[in-house]
C-alpha cells in the first residue's frame, strides 16, 4: 500500500503542470464516451458494480463481475461530430482482471483548399485511442488498483501525431455501499508531433470521487472533483463584458468599503466559484433492480459554456439504464451550449 501511495504522490507532482483551456492536445480523452458517464456529469464515476462501461472512466473499477461482457457506445458531440467506445473484459482468476477497449472521435469530412483558394482533395480528421486495462484487488481488503495503457493516434489530413499514456487509479469499496476513487489520467509522452516546430502536450488530470448508496433509499449519491492538479480554473472571457464597464457611471466615485465586507464577499465568491469549477454532483435513482434514472450537474461546464445574454441549463445531464436478461441499454443527454446538445446510446451484453 505504501508503494501505491508513493506512485500517486509522484503523479501528483508530475501533473502539477497540467494545462487547460485549449493549451493541451488530444482533448478527446476528456470527453465522456459512455452513456452512463455522460449522464452522470462526465467525471471519475466512483461506482462499484458489474457495468463494463465504468472502465472508460477509471481502470480501478474493473472487477471480476465484468468478465465476458462487451459494451458499445455511440454518440454525437454537438452538430455532426461523432464518437464512440468499444470494450471487453475478462477475468484471470487469481491473476486479476484484464480488458481491452477502443475509443474514437470523428470530426467528419472536410473539403481541401490550397493557399490560393483552389479546391484540392477532400480529407477526414479523427482521434483514436487503443487501450489495455488491468486491475487487481488487494488480498483480503476492499481496495482495488487498476491501470490503463493508452496508444493515442491523431490524424488530420496529412498531419499525424502519436502518444502513449497511462491512467492509474485506486478504488475503495465497502460493504456499506460506500465507494471512493482517486485517479491520475493521461500521464505520458507525445513521441510524434504534427510538425517539427510544434510541441503537443497531454491533458493530464487528477480526479477524486465518492458515491454512497443510502441505506433503504432508492438512490445513490455521487460527488466528484477533477483537475485537482490545476487548482485555479477561472478565466476572463473576452466576450463577457457584463459588469466590466458602464458608460453611465464614468466619473462617479465608488462608495468606501469601510467594513471590508465587499472585499471579503468578492474574495469569498471568487474562491467558492473556483472550487465549484472542480465539482460534479449527480445521483442514480434506482427505480428497480433493472431500471434507473440518472441526473447530474457539472458546474464548470455551465460557467464556461454560458453566453452573456443567455444562461440556459448548460451543465445539466441526464439519462437512464435498462437491463433485459443478458443485455443492458443506456442513453444520455447532455446540454452543452445553445443550441448544441450531446447524446449517447449504449448497448452491453454478456457473451
**Rounded CA Rg of the chain:** 22
- Picking from 33, 18, 53, 27, the residue whose alpha carbon sits closest to that of residue 206 is 18
Q: Find the range with the poorest average confidence among 19-28, 113-122, 282-291.
A: 19-28
pLDDT greater than 90 at residue 294: yes
**Which residues on neighbouring strands pair with residue 184, listed in sequence order?**
168, 206
Please give the pLDDT value at position 315: 87
Mean of pLDDT values over 261-275: 72
| Contact yes or no for 165/202 (Cβ under 8 A) | yes
- CA 173 vs CA 4, 26, 48, 49, 124: distances in Å: 17, 31, 7, 10, 43
Please give the pLDDT value at position 338: 65
CB-CB neighbours of 202 under 10 Å: 24
Compare 35 and 80 and report the one with higher pLDDT: 35
Q: What is the pTM of this model?
A: 0.84
Please give the pLDDT value at position 340: 72
Please give the pLDDT value at position 70: 98
For 105-162, write each residue's pLDDT tens digit: 999 999 888 888 889 889 999 999 999 999 999 887 899 999 999 999 999 988 999 9
For 206-261, write each residue's pLDDT tens digit: 999 999 998 889 999 999 999 999 999 876 555 554 444 344 444 444 445 444 54
Mean of pLDDT values over 290-308: 89
Compare 93 and 237 and report the one with higher pLDDT: 93
Please give the pLDDT value at position 95: 94
Element (H, E) at 169: strand 159-173
| Alpha carbons 67 and 299: distance in angstroms, whole number | 35
Please give the pLDDT value at position 5: 40
pLDDT greater than 60 at residue 177: yes
* Sequence-distant (≥ 6) Cβ neighbours of residue 92 within 8 angstroms: 98
Domains of the chain from N-terminus onward = 2-243+254-350 (2.40.160.40)
**HEC profile of 281-315:** EEEEEEEECCEEEEEEEEHHHHHHHCECCECCCCC
Please give the pLDDT value at position 79: 74
125 alpha-carbon distance from chain centroid: 22
Confidence class for position 12, pLDDT limits 50, 70, 90: very low
Please, what is the average pLDDT of the chain? 85
Residue showing cell 491533458 = 203
Amino acid at each position: 500500500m505504501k508503494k501505491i501511495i508513493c506512485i500517486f504522490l509522484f503523479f501528483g507532482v508530475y501533473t502539477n503542470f497540467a494545462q487547460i483551456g485549449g493549451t493541451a492536445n488530444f482533448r478527446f480523452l476528456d470527453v465522456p464516451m459512455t452513456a452512463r458517464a455522460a449522464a452522470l456529469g462526465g467525471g471519475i464515476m466512483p461506482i462499484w458494480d458489474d457495468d463494463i462501461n465504468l472502465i472508460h472512466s477509471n481502470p480501478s473499477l474493473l472487477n471480476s463481475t465484468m468478465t465476458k461482457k462487451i459494451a458499445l457506445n455511440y454518440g454525437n458531440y454537438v452538430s455532426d461530430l461523432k464518437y464512440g467506445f468499444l470494450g471487453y473484459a475478462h477475468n484471470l482468476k487469481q491473476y486479476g482482471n484484464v480488458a481491452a477497449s477502443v475509443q474514437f472521435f470523428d470530426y467528419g469530412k472536410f473539403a481541401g483548399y490550397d493557399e490560393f483558394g483552389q479546391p484540392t482533395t477532400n480529407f477526414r480528421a479523427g482521434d483514436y485511442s487503443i487501450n489495455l486495462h488491468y486491475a487487481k484487488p488487494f488480498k483480503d481488503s476492499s481496495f482495488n488498483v487498476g491501470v490503463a495503457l493508452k496508444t493515442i493516434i491523431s490524424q488530420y489530413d496529412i498531419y499525424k501525431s502519436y502518444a502513449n499514456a497511462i491512467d492509474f487509479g485506486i478504488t475503495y469499496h465497502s460493504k456499506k455501499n460506500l465507494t471512493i476513487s482517486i485517479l491520475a489520467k493521461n500521464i505520458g509522452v507525445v513521441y510524434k508531433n504534427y510538425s517539427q516546430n510544434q510541441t503537443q502536450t497531454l491533458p493530464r488530470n487528477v480526479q477524486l470521487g465518492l458515491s454512497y448508496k443510502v441505506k433503504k433509499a432508492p438512490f445513490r449519491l455521487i460527488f466528484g472533483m477533477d483537475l485537482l492538479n490545476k487548482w485555479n480554473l477561472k478565466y476572463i472571457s473576452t466576450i463577457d463584458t457584463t459588469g466590466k464597464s458602464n458608460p453611465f457611471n464614468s466619473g462617479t466615485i465608488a462608495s468606501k468599503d469601510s467594513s471590508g465586507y465587499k472585499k471579503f464577499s468578492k474574495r469569498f465568491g471568487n474562491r467558492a466559484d473556483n472550487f465549484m469549477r472542480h465539482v460534479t454532483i449527480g445521483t442514480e435513482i434506482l427505480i428497480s433492480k433493472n431500471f434507473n434514472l440518472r441526473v447530474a450537474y457539472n458546474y464548470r461546464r455551465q460557467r464556461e459554456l454560458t453566453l452573456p445574454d443567455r444562461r440556459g441549463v448548460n451543465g445539466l445531464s441526464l439519462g437512464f439504464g435498462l437491463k433485459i436478461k443478458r443485455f443492458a441499454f443506456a442513453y444520455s443527454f447532455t446540454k452543452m451550449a445553445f443550441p448544441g446538445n450531446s447524446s449517447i446510446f449504449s448497448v452491453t451484453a454478456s457473451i
